[in-house]
Structure 1
Amino acid sequence: MIAAVSFVQVPATANPVPAPQNPPISQSDALKQYRELAAKAEKLNEDYLKAKDDLAARQAELDKASGDLTAAEQAKSAAAADEETYRTEVDKFAGASFTSGSQMNKLSALLSGDSTRDFLDRSAALDVLAADRNAALKNLSAAVRQAGAAEREAAEAQARAKTAKEEAEKLTADIKTRKEALDKKVEELKEQAGLLSSSDRAAQQDTGGAVPDVQAPGTAAQTAVNAALGKRGSAYVWGAEGPSTFDCSGLTSWAYQQAGISIPRSSRAQSAFGTPVSKSQLQPGDLVFFYSPVSHVGIYLGNGKMVHAPTSGDVVKVSPLQNNYNSARRVA
């Protein structure tokens, strides 16, 4: 015997029972409790997926920083070699001036020459030597600057790599914790599922009536809508992203993949992707998000309806927009 549970209006920051499906159907206390527990499990699932998204991003940053570090170290070595080469050249000019006993200039060339032609020839030669010396000094100066820049770039890349590695290690531990919490909640959900009646299970399989005639404003949005509607009746499975089973964000990301558009995997990450849209400006194909922080997503169909993968035990279906509407994004 299941004790009756009274439900009150839930604040916008909570995770309430999802709205009834379309057409509205009565829910037993057992099904209400199941869906309330399932909504909490879905939040844990989306938190887990978001942590995995974050880990992938940190790993990409680590890979890039490691590549940048390798390139910077190579540039640093090359710059150091150039600096040594040009310093040797400059030292040669300095040594030549020192061993000559005096600094050669155009006046000494004139005094030591026998004719105007000698002066012109020697003057031209000194100009060439001066130009070579100046070029060597410029090359040395440039090499020193390049070596310094390479040193700074290497240090910066090394710092980024260290930070990304530390964050990745923290996220790996966080993912493990979140997965354990999700698994525990799923076990609770399985126990609750055993209390559902045959009519409760039938209600979970409701797909929302006839397929609506949806006219999206663009080809990509239409393709995504059609793809999602074509999966009505497909089972909800934690972490699934198609083509036969889905979780909520798995369905939306899979649907847009069919339109050639790649969107983030988790509902939380999807809620920051694309262009924000006000509720009054919703169009078919827009992603609609629920709860705060975001933990559920569907694809808007028009007339206040969406297609979504509700939660464990349910199937992909057409429903009214749920309570605790959060925001919307347009990706096509």
Structure 2
Amino acid sequence: MARPPGALVASLVAALVAGLLAAGAAPATADPIVPPGASDAVTALAQANARAADATEASLDAAEQLEVRQGEADRTRREADDARVVADAARAERDRAFVDVDQVSRAAYQGGQLDALGALLGSESPQAYLDRTALLDSISEDNRAIVQRFLDATAAAEGSERDAAARALDAERSASDAQRTADDAARRKVDADREVAAAERALAEASPDTLAALRSGGTTAYPTDIPGVGIAMDALRVALTQQGKPYVWGATGPSTYDCSGLVQWAYRQVGVGLPRVSRQQALVGVPVAPQDAQPGDLIFFNSPVSHVGFYVGGGKFLEAPQSGDVVKVSNVRSNVTGVRRIVL
């Protein structure tokens, strides 16, 4: 059974297209979610929420990048260690071959081949001498194989040493990258904590009317039995069961959520792992043109991306909007910067 297409109304198609086309010129921070006709107090609270959400997103993104960088550093260190083991083995093989060559040298002395073999072993480039037919003819077939093994082992040891050195350098660079990312994550965490604290103070000081106005719009009673098949629809139906639960910065469920935490949690329930933050979630799946959006598609807002929700059809989407509000279905806003479809 084919999944029914989402029926975006004409005005919202235009808004989606405009949002995507304007992505390059969009503001660097999240747009506040301000109800129409909101008072200055509501607008200020929404702006504080937007700054806190943007800072939290940046902090989580930096932490995720740190995990990736540390993984790369650990991997390159292991590769460097493996390369050193190979180099040590190659050097040991070279040393064993040298013992055999020394025995050949002694035998050559006793057999009158000292001058030829001495010239071979004492030269800076033994391989060049081996290329000379006259010298090869002066060494027995068995001895020639022994000498060649020594030369091969020496070349292998030198190559392994170079490889180990290169991998060790890569490991150092990866570790340095990880440290820089860690420092950046720490700075972003401080900024995020400051913005969240400011927003929490604003929420605590807000009047009941201001909080009610902030939560105005949308519904928490959207049907959860939307028809359709596929992993995206499965995740959407699960996410819809969370309507009415509070938004909390950095929360990933099951009692509170932020926007990307809701998306990640819903997909986890259907056996699919997604990145933690919205700007990373905006890179998974396949891109979808706004006019082709279907229920279950992920819809992203702001540039850089800092908000995400599930498109449910009819120009509406499920979101965990902002602090002071709850998971609900809202009208799609105009600051859309992408639509993605998760397919397996």
Fold shared by both chains (TM-score > 0.5): yes
Matches within 5 A, 1:253-332: 253-332=264-343
Aligned residue for 1:260, secondary structure, equals coil
**Equivalent residue for 2:263?**
252
Partner amino acid, structure 1, of 2:172: K
Whole-angstrom distance in 2 between the partners of 1:135 and 1:244:
73
Whole-angstrom distance in 2 between the partners of 1:77 and 1:52:
37
Say which is worse superposed, 142-151 or 310-319, in terms of deviation.
142-151
- Greater Rg by CA: 1
Whole-angstrom distance in 1 between the partners of 2:305 and 2:273:
20
**Equivalent residue for 2:133?**
none
Matches within 5 A, 1:15-164: 15-18=30-33, 20=35, 27-102=38-113, 130-164=140-174
Contact residue 307 and residue 317 of structure 1 kept, 8 A:
yes
Whole-angstrom distance in 2 between the partners of 1:276 and 1:131:
66
Partner amino acid, structure 2, of 1:146: A
Q: State the Cα distance separating 1:195 from its structure 2 match.
A: 4.5
* Match status 1:215 vs 2:227: yes
Q: State the Cα distance separating 1:64 from its structure 2 match.
A: 0.7
**Equivalent residue for 1:175?**
185
Whole-angstrom distance in 1 between the partners of 2:104 and 2:330:
84
Contact residue 284 and residue 301 of structure 1 kept, 8 A:
yes
Higher relative contact order (CA 8 A, sep 6+): 2
Summarize deviations over 1:20-79 as a string: whole Å, max 9, x none: 4xxxx7533322221122112111111001100110001101111121122111111111
Partner amino acid, structure 1, of 2:243: R
Whole-angstrom distance in 2 between the partners of 1:12 and 1:188:
24
Q: Report the CA distance shift for 1:96/1:287 in structure 2 as closer, same or farther (over 3 A).
A: same
Q: Report the CA distance shift for 1:271/1:91 in structure 2 as closer, same or farther (over 3 A).
A: same
Partner amino acid, structure 2, of 1:324: N
Q: Report the CA distance shift for 1:134/1:233 in structure 2 as closer, same or farther (over 3 A).
A: farther
Aligned residue for 2:310, secondary structure, equals strand
Q: State the Cα distance separating 1:238 from its structure 2 match.
A: 1.5
Contact residue 217 and residue 283 of structure 1 kept, 8 A:
no
What are structure 1's unaligned runs of at least 5 residues?
A: 1-9, 104-126
**Equivalent residue for 1:6?**
none
Say which is worse superposed, 44-53 or 147-156, in terms of deviation.
147-156
Q: State the Cα distance separating 1:12 from its structure 2 match.
A: 2.4
Whole-angstrom distance in 1 between the partners of 2:205 and 2:113:
105
Q: State the Cα distance separating 1:101 from its structure 2 match.
A: 1.2
Say which is worse superposed, 195-204 or 29-38, in terms of deviation.
195-204
Given the two structures, how large is their TM-score scaled by the length of structure 2? 0.78
What are structure 2's unaligned runs of at least 5 residues?
A: 1-21, 115-136
Summarize deviations over 1:292-332 as a string: whole Å, max 9, x none: 11111112222222112112111111112223111122222
**Equivalent residue for 2:239?**
228
Partner amino acid, structure 1, of 2:54: K
Partner amino acid, structure 1, of 2:167: A
Q: State the Cα distance separating 1:204 from its structure 2 match.
A: 4.7
Q: State the Cα distance separating 1:13 from its structure 2 match.
A: 2.1
Contact residue 303 and residue 337 of structure 2 kept, 8 A:
yes
- Displacement over 6 Å in runs of 4+: none
Say which is worse superposed, 310-319 or 166-175, in terms of deviation.
166-175
Whole-angstrom distance in 1 between the partners of 2:82 and 2:74:
12
Query: What is the number of residues matched between the two proteins?
Result: 294
Contact residue 319 and residue 328 of structure 2 kept, 8 A:
yes
CA RMSD of aligned residues (A): 2.5
Summarize deviations over 1:139-191 as a string: whole Å, max 9, x none: 33332333233222212221122112212222222222212211221222123
Q: Report the CA distance shift for 1:102/1:73 in structure 2 as closer, same or farther (over 3 A).
A: closer
Whole-angstrom distance in 1 between the partners of 2:272 and 2:327:
21
Contact residue 233 and residue 317 of structure 1 kept, 8 A:
yes
Whole-angstrom distance in 1 between the partners of 2:63 and 2:205:
33
Q: State the Cα distance separating 1:256 from its structure 2 match.
A: 1.0
Given the two structures, how large is their TM-score scaled by the length of structure 1? 0.80
